[in-house]
Amino acid sequence: MAIAPVKRMEVLLPKDELEGFVSYLQELGVAQLDPLPYEELELSSSPAEVADYERWLTRINHVIQNLPELEPKKGLEKLLTPKAKYSASLRKVLLDYGYQKVVEDYEELEARRAQLVQHIKQMEREKEFLIPLTALNVPLRSLTGLNRCLVKIAEVKTEDIESLKENLADQPASISIISTEKNLAYVLIIYHQSLREEVEAIFSGYKLAFISLDHYLLKLKGDEKVSDLIAELEQQKSQAKEEIGKLEKDMSGFAVHRPSLMAVYDVLLNEKQKLVGTSLAGLTEKTAWLAGWVPAAQTDYLVRKVNQFSPTIYLNLRDPKPEERDEVPVILDNPQLIKPFEVVTSLYGLPLPGGIDPTIFLAPFFFVFVGMCISEAGYGLVMSLLSLLYLKKAEPKGGTRLFMTLFFYLGISNMIFGTLFGGWFGFPIKPLVLIDPIENPIPYLILSLALGFIQVMLSTFLSLVKDFREGNKVTAIAVKGGWLLLLPSLLFYFLLKQPPVLGILALIGAAGIVFFSSPSRNILARFFNGLYALYGITSYFSDTLSYSRILALGLSTGVIAMVVNSLVQIAWSFPFVGWIIGILIFAGGHLFNLAIGLLGGFVHSMRLQFVEFFGRFYESGGKPFKPVKLENKYIEFIR
């Protein structure tokens, strides 16, 4: 128990059945495939050519993300909607949907829209450029093609205009202001070609920015003025906007394809995964060799299913060889009730194959600690109801399901311990309260430390088991057993008026630690190293004291809940609106307290497991079991 046994799977099959077989394994979802030492076995392997699939997946995903939903759902309702279900055997049929055409058509519309948006921006820039020149109330054509004169439009600083005018006064030139705006002026300058150089020399004395209208002059049809150009731009712009509106309507018409595209996406995703699986096979000219792992509990099922699938597949299942031990994937296997607590273990890291699965040991402590850290029954009720609602409505699978179930449990824990040590939304049910930590913190502290001491002792016992299994049998029993004897005896020796029996037991335990801690042959070295090992008692002491946080955290939630309620009481006495403010403070305050309390309670209970409990015995580093199976992002495949 605890860590499920795993069998090595070896499969030989005709090469042309390989793809079908991997696809079938995906449907079964019980076997993990591993790469082989191809060169050593003189096998060839084919790289997975998944680029094409990946390109399509990105394109489809883009369309899905941009399409509106057929029946738009909001927030909570969206969260609580389960994924659409499709039969796994329909996978091939879904691909006949012609998704390529849909995606391409959509992308075409999108590209056209992007072009129009770009065009509109361009026209807006042009308009901005032309607006200062609106006052130029002559046909643009009249500015060109003059025989003797040159016409320039320029931007000048307003402060320079007067001196420019003066300088040009004795030249055959005319300057007139078209418009001014802040400290810039637009001017029209006409001068005679014969004195071009003189005039332009004057220009160079000022920072003139010449504006070229050549672009428009080329396109002139008749006697348009600048205002006509702007009007035309406006008209083009509104046409473009209209077209965008039409395009967007067409694009939202694609929403009908959304559910199918979601299904196609998941099918393609699995086709890609299939290729990845197929590429793990070692190949000869006509056969393929696959290897991997299957949970021992699933072997009969797998053998039966494979025999049904094809008679030409050779399947061998055996126990892992010693040299393969590091490769064995780890599957935690706990009773249904304990299973959600695997979340906590996995967060730290899975145990090594052949190690101890700590889940069953930490589960009761974690359950109690979270309850005692938050100790608010009302919040527990809210947590349980919300997680139950999510579990029932959204039907999550895998990790999310375990996590939500864990939350459901923690809610129950809070209802129990909240009633005993706290209240319901800050209101204690007096006859049911065992200890009120606000009035009476000392008994609650003692309870926290006692639970902590029990867990520290359990971790010492588990480290004894671990050492014993690893072969240092005598040391394990003498040293770890010594601690197990010494610490409780010492504790009760001081609690129970110092009975001599306990004193003797404590000394025996201490002797075990002193004489067996060091492997040295030298008696003296052994003795003094042993004395030093006895100093390790401080770590037991500090670990146990660390559990006092349960009191502090339990108190904080309870007191804040009380504060919220007294604020509500104050608000309630306001005239007329008092009750509204009261309800708002009640809801908001308790929600805030729930969030902060849950964060603190969860994280600190987890820390107690990871640091105080795991420290003595637990080694993580196991590889998780990753079977080839039907992955899903948007939909769910069922048998």
Partner 1 sequence: MSLGLTLAILGAALAVFIAGIGSATGIGLAGQAASGVMTEDPSKFGIIIPLAALPGTQGIYGFLSGFLVILKLGLLGGQIIQPTVQQGWQIMFACFPVAFAGLVSGIHQGKVCASGIYMVAKQPKDMTKPLVMGALVETYAVLGLLATVLLLNGIKL
Binding residues for partner 1 (CB under 8 A) = 347, 438, 441-442, 445, 546, 548-549, 551-553, 555-556, 559-560, 563, 566, 595-596, 599-600, 603-604, 606-607, 610-611
Residue 201 burial by Cβ neighbours in a 10 Å radius (0-12, 13-18, 19+): exposed
* Dihedral sign, Cα of residue 604, residue 609, residue 615, residue 618: negative
Provide the minimum distance between the beta carbon of 113 and partner 1 in the complex, in angstroms, as a whole number: 24
Provide the minimum distance between the beta carbon of 533 and partner 1 in the complex, in angstroms, as a whole number: 26
Provide the minimum distance between the beta carbon of 571 and partner 1 in the complex, in angstroms, as a whole number: 14
Provide the minimum distance between the beta carbon of 331 and partner 1 in the complex, in angstroms, as a whole number: 19
- Cα 497 → chain centroid: 56
Provide the minimum distance between the beta carbon of 456 and partner 1 in the complex, in angstroms, as a whole number: 16
Q: Which of 373/513 has CB closer to partner 1?
A: 373
How far is it, in rounded angstroms, from Cα 557 to Cα 594? 8
For residue 166, give Cα distances in angstroms to 157, 169, 171, 173, 175: 15, 5, 10, 11, 10
Provide the minimum distance between the beta carbon of 275 and partner 1 in the complex, in angstroms, as a whole number: 25
DSSP, res 286: S
For residue 401, give Cα distances in angstroms to 240, 335, 355, 389: 50, 15, 26, 12
CA distance between the termini of the chain: 29
Provide the minimum distance between the beta carbon of 132 and partner 1 in the complex, in angstroms, as a whole number: 37
Q: Which of 68/399 has CB closer to partner 1?
A: 399
Q: Which of 271/612 has CB closer to partner 1?
A: 612
Q: Which of 255/596 has CB closer to partner 1?
A: 596
| Residue partners of 632: CB distance under 8 A and separation at least 6 | 83, 266, 269
Q: Which of 189/553 has CB closer to partner 1?
A: 553
Q: Which of 28/370 has CB closer to partner 1?
A: 370
How far is it, in rounded angstroms, from Cα 21 to Cα 271? 13
Provide the minimum distance between the beta carbon of 600 and partner 1 in the complex, in angstroms, as a whole number: 6
How far is it, in rounded angstroms, from Cα 574 to Cα 581? 9
Provide the minimum distance between the beta carbon of 603 and partner 1 in the complex, in angstroms, as a whole number: 5
The DSSP string of 161-174 is: HHHHHHHHHTSSEE
As given in the structure block, the two tokens for residue 61 are 């995903």
Task: Check if the beta carbon of residue 313 is closer than 8 Å to that of residue 15.
Answer: no
How far is it, in rounded angstroms, from Cα 503 to Cα 145? 119
Q: Which of 610/617 has CB closer to partner 1?
A: 610
Q: Which of 607/626 has CB closer to partner 1?
A: 607
How far is it, in rounded angstroms, from Cα 114 to Cα 568? 54
The DSSP string of 56-77 is: HHHHHHHHHHHSPPSS---HHH
Provide the minimum distance between the beta carbon of 559 and partner 1 in the complex, in angstroms, as a whole number: 5
| β-bridge mates for residue 624, sequence order | 330
Q: Which of 306/343 has CB closer to partner 1?
A: 343
Provide the minimum distance between the beta carbon of 607 and partner 1 in the complex, in angstroms, as a whole number: 4
445: three-class secondary structure by DSSP: helix
How far is it, in rounded angstroms, from Cα 172 to Cα 193? 9
Q: Which of 316/566 has CB closer to partner 1?
A: 566
Task: Check if the beta carbon of residue 437 is closer than 8 Å to that of residue 558.
Answer: yes
Q: Which of 174/620 has CB closer to partner 1?
A: 620
